[in-house]
Amino acid sequence: MAPLLHEVDTPTKEATFGMACFWAPDCLFGATPGVIRTKVGYTGGSKGTPSYHNLSDHTEAIHIEYDPKEIDYSTLLKLFWENHNPSARMKLQYTSMIWYHDNEQKELAESTLKEQENKHKLPIVTKIAPASTFYDAEDYHQKYRLQGHPWLCEAIGMKSGAKLKNSHLAARLNGYVIGCGGVNQFNAEVGKLGLDEKTADYVRKLVIKNEGNGLTC
């Protein structure tokens, strides 16, 4: 059996999005092939060291590290647009945002924004801005859905939020436990994840139960 796949040693690029509550996109992108790591946090504001109960002018965000050989930024943008409401007017904490990390990302973000504006009857409120300091959210927010399964966290040696932020396996399972990715994808890659039979069966049952139920926060 392969070792637990917590670390993936491959060059990555970054992507950062605001899609309202950050628990849902953490699941979505965590189970997306080509995504290596995810973490949730706060960014976009001027105040240092924001917290969940003292955000000031920051926004909840998902930070993604992805393998550009396996998935491109355009695909991540497609998932961004398709999995939240870019027309919803919400308070700053939950604003729809794209923070770009280079000029290519900026151009792609602006191009897709124009496409969305042509598709939607309601005005798009999504803002595009350069990436700035990303402040990690509190440990209890990291891989929130996975942490709802204490036995599973213990089985993979991931009891703390600090470790959950950096684990590839935790990112995958955080999506799978709510059905993201689907059972066929899980079965195709489970051998690489290093799960024993009991743990794999536990996760598989959750994928089957929740597949197609959509994202929730």
Query: Which amino acids are annotated catalytic?
Result: 21
Tokens encoding 62: 């998902």
With contact defined as beta carbons under 8 Å apart, do 126 and 96 qualify? yes
Return the closest-CA partner of residue 40 out of 115, 136, 123.
Answer: 136
Tokens encoding 114: 């124009």
- In the sheet that holds 127-130, the strands lie side by side as 127-130, 96-100, 13-19, 59-66, 35-43, 135-136
> How does DSSP classify residue 22?
T
